[in-house]
Amino acid sequence: MTAEIIDQASELEEMLREQAIAAHRIDRNAVSAEHCVECGEDIPELRRLKVPGCQRCASCQADEELRMKQGRG
């Protein structure tokens, strides 16, 4: 019975890890916004090229990541 529980936990851990990795993969064909969805400022072309699918300027993205890290997202 203990081995079965360990196997189930291992399968769950693997599934969660694969989901986390998939969530962070970059879609190179994604279309980036030209203006930040938060502040409306222009998103520089270099950022749009380097971060396909970006929707926020670097400053607003940093703020969003901090909110998510702190659990306020």
Q: Where are the domains of the chain?
A: 27-73
Q: What is the pLDDT of residues 28-67, one digit of tens each?
A: 788 999 999 999 999 999 999 999 999 999 999 999 999 9
Which tokens is 37 given? Answer: 């969805």
Compute the half-sphere exposure of residue 17: CA atoms within 13 Å on the CB side of its CA. Answer: 6
Identity of the amino acid at 33: A
Q: pTM above 0.85?
A: no
Report the pLDDT value the prediction gives residue 73, as an integer from 0 to 100: 56
